[in-house]
A and B are shown apart, each in its own frame.
Chain A
Amino acid sequence: MSIDRRQFLKIAGISALGAGTAAANLIWKNSLEAIQAAPAEEGLTAKKWAMVIDMRKLKTEEDYKKITDACHSIHNVPDFGNPKDEVKWIWTDTYEHAFPGQENEYLPEAIKEKPFPLLCNHCENPPCVRVCPTQATFKRQDGIVMQDEHRCIGCRFCMAACPFGARSFNYRDPRPFIKEKNPEYPTRTKGVVEKCTFCTERLVKGLMPACAEKSNGAIAFGDLKDPNSEVRKLLSANYTIRRKQELGTQPSVFYIIGGSEK
């Protein structure tokens, strides 16, 4: 465990536990495994976090905007206003681009045109973790794929390795481009990679991910290993698909496509 990662966890720990230096010292001593094994009382834990996105429940443009805005504003995601430098944690694209190779031209128009929310899949078998030369990108015991922004050397190998385009690189200093800074969440620096974290900072506080919370029930989040969890119930009751399953990364984000209803 490096000083860098400890510092990172310390920051995460402070905001997460909201318990000042005592708690931070605890994490400092007990490192990563400690927060996984012993989170604050009210924290949410799981053997394997997963998400089910029910496309039937996402209807208006407003529905999508609430989700992406919630994530980007609380996580200090910058808006550079150009696609070249773009940083994004959750965004949308059409079926054809979200699930390339699975499209066919006779799909219902409603599905063809519908925007699908896309984010890091927190893969069970993540190539981004496999290739990272510094372990700055790592998988936690609960399945969440995280990165340590203080250790990342900015080689962007993980971006080449991720088949889902989930990762963004800070091509410039992001701080001047954050609309409204959330003081409770760390900002990043230029030259490091970032992506969705499944809202680890909220889970430890007992809160659901921000996108799930703002989705009016369209996004379910829960423990894939718990047969009684909401995600498992949805998965056993509906036909779901995942992105690029053939690559074997085992995404933890599932989509219920639904029929042609708008």
Chain B
Amino acid sequence: MIEKALTGSSRYWIWISFLLAVIGVGFIFYLKQLSYGLGITGLSRDVSWGLYISQFTFLVGVAASAVMLVIPYYLHDYKKFGKIVILGEFLAVAAVNMCLLFLLVDMGQPMRALNIFLYPTPNSIIFWDAVALNGYLLLNIVIGWTTLESERYSAPPPRWVKPLIYLSIPWAVSIHTVTAFLYAGLPGRHFWLTAVMAARFLASAFAGGPALLIILSMIVRRLSKFDPGREPIQAISKIVTYAMLANVFFFLLEVFTAFYSGIPGHKHPFQYLFVGLEGHGKLVPLMWLSVILAAAALILLVNPNTRKNEKTLLAACAAVFVSLWIDKGFGLIVGGFVPNPFERVTEYWPTLAEALITLGVWAIGILILTVLYKVAVSVREETAGADTEH
């Protein structure tokens, strides 16, 4: 089937070349990082994780969100997701690949990455995260590919995939829970030390991932003859709405606990992120942008008229995605490090090199996504009896 990714319109090839160029730039800067060290980034002794690890965290959520299509389709026999579920599975594949790459570029000694498996350490959450992510990647590649292949020959998928599909459901939940445990179990990092962390992660994942999926479905519909259909998109938009409401609710729970209890250590990160602390407030505008986007998105999503209108729905989904990216793909990690263990404020801001490496990894993910979607869409066009040329 992979050959379907090797033929395409000139637009397709321009897009691929563009992504390759971005990857190339990122790679050059990664080589620089390898020779100079992570000092090339904005990271410091006080803020020792930054953009890379927050992208990783955010993308684990995107990956886990495929389950929001798998559950209705396979467990509740919601047939309308039949066409779109493959898009969710392939999105998961691309997202997990990015996660693993972000972990790798964040390592000070990437050549030793395999030490995680050479010296398996069950008391370390990273060990479980590595196992969970690699397993989830494998599951989604196998499931996505086999179901698509059988669809191509208009045959039912082989019976052995069913158990794998069922397995992928708890597995998806596990990848994000384990990722939350990376943070939620650390003593002395008040911002992360909260039992609601895993729940909040899942809620934001089930809002952000499906929102991205709606955007992608609309792009696919415009660029190809494959139409995921209006109804599945509407169904997903309800998932986004509920998940986003849950996410905002969980966040407000945190705010209440921090400020009503009045414990300084719990209040400080929130103060740093939203109003600034001791005169430092680099993240304040971004965090408020995230709040405003979340509020705007909820207004558009909760109102049935704007949710049913695909134009406003698209705007709402974009707002959800950007809002969550800021919140989880940036603020959550930096906030955990500010103030530092000595109650001093050290700020963090990514450097250009760091940003370009980050873009490079995203471009690799988008390249994987493009190729996989190209295959899926070509198969769909074929089985729909449509012309394969474009």
Q: Which residues of A come within 8 Å of B, CB atoms?
A: 2, 83-87, 93, 96-98, 100-101, 127, 130-136, 151-157, 159-165, 168-173, 190-193, 244, 247-249
CA distance A201 to B38 in the complex (A): 29
Bin chain B's interface residue count.
35 or more
**B341 and A153 within 8 A (CB):** no
Query: Would you mind naming 8 contact pairs between A and B with Cβ atoms under 8 Å apart?
Result: A100-B341, A101-B265, A133-B121, A135-B119, A156-B106, A161-B187, A163-B188, A172-B36
Within 8 Å CB of B107, what residues of A? 153-155, 191
Assuming A83-B44, A164-B341, is B37 touching A191 (CB within 8 A)? yes
Q: What does the 1/0 interface line of B227-265 toward A look like (CB < 8 Å)?
A: 000000000000000000000000000000000000011
**B115 and A151 within 8 A (CB):** yes
**A153 and B115 within 8 A (CB):** yes
**A155 and B126 within 8 A (CB):** yes
Instruction: Give 10 closest A-B pairs by Cβ, nearest first.
Output: A154-B108, A163-B188, A191-B108, A171-B39, A133-B126, A190-B37, A165-B341, A172-B39, A97-B342, A133-B124
Tell me which of B45-53, B155-163, B168-176, B306-314 binds A.
Answer: B45-53
**Is B3 in the interface zone, CB < 8 Å from A?**
no
Assuming A84-B39, A244-B188, is B108 touching A160 (CB within 8 A)? no
**Is B17 in the interface zone, CB < 8 Å from A?**
no
**Is B109 in the interface zone, CB < 8 Å from A?**
yes
Assuming A84-B44, A134-B116, A154-B108, is B186 touching A160 (CB within 8 A)? yes
Chain A residue at minimal CB-CB distance from B348: A84
**B342 and A152 within 8 A (CB):** no
CA distance A93 to B265 in the complex (A): 19
**Is B286 in the interface zone, CB < 8 Å from A?**
no
Q: Which of B37, B43, B130 has the most CB of A within 10 A?
A: B37
Selected contact of A159 from candidates B48, B103, B124, B182, CB within 8 Å: B48
| CB of A257, distance to nearest CB on chain B (Å) | 17
Within 8 Å CB of A190, what residues of B? 36-39, 108
Is chain B's binding surface mostly helix, strand, loop or mixed?
loop
CA distance A171 to B50 in the complex (A): 14
CA distance A170 to B109 in the complex (A): 11
Selected contact of A131 from candidates B113, B124, B344, CB within 8 Å: B124
**B45 and A168 within 8 A (CB):** yes
**B124 and A132 within 8 A (CB):** yes
Selected contact of B45 from candidates A154, A155, A169, CB within 8 Å: A169
Assuming A2-B118, A247-B187, is B109 touching A154 (CB within 8 A)? yes
Within 8 Å CB of A248, what residues of B? 187
Is chain A's binding surface mostly helix, strand, loop or mixed?
loop
Chain A residue at minimal CB-CB distance from B115: A134
Which chain B residues (97-129) contact chain A, with CB distance < 8 Å?
103, 106-110, 112-113, 115-116, 118-119, 121, 123-127
Within 8 Å CB of B112, what residues of A? 134, 151-154
**A153 and B186 within 8 A (CB):** no
**A97 and B344 within 8 A (CB):** yes
CA distance A171 to B106 in the complex (A): 11
| CB of B126, distance to nearest CB on chain A (Å) | 4
**A152 and B45 within 8 A (CB):** no
CA distance A83 to B346 in the complex (A): 10
**B186 and A127 within 8 A (CB):** yes
**B38 and A169 within 8 A (CB):** yes
**Is B336 in the interface zone, CB < 8 Å from A?**
yes
Q: Which of A136, A151, A161, A171 has the most CB of B within 10 A?
A: A171
CA distance A67 to B121 in the complex (A): 36
**A93 and B49 within 8 A (CB):** no
Within 8 Å CB of A98, what residues of B? 342
**B187 and A156 within 8 A (CB):** no
Selected contact of B108 from candidates A2, A132, A192, A247, CB within 8 Å: A192
**B38 and A171 within 8 A (CB):** yes
**B343 and A97 within 8 A (CB):** yes
Q: What does the 1/0 interface line of B5-46 toward A look like (CB < 8 Å)?
A: 000000000000000000000000000000011110001111
Chain A residue at minimal CB-CB distance from B182: A157
CA distance A77 to B346 in the complex (A): 22
- Seed contacts A169-B48, A192-B108; 10 additional CB < 8 Å A-B pairs: A84-B39, A84-B45, A85-B39, A98-B342, A100-B265, A100-B342, A127-B186, A135-B121, A163-B187, A165-B341
Selected contact of A191 from candidates B43, B109, B115, B341, CB within 8 Å: B109
CA distance A173 to B35 in the complex (A): 9
CA distance A155 to B38 in the complex (A): 11
**A171 and B37 within 8 A (CB):** yes
Assuming A84-B44, A135-B119, is B113 touching A153 (CB within 8 A)? yes
| CB of A191, distance to nearest CB on chain B (Å) | 3
**B38 and A249 within 8 A (CB):** no
Within 8 Å CB of B374, what residues of A? none
**A160 and B116 within 8 A (CB):** no
CA distance A244 to B106 in the complex (A): 29
**B116 and A153 within 8 A (CB):** yes
**Is B380 in the interface zone, CB < 8 Å from A?**
no
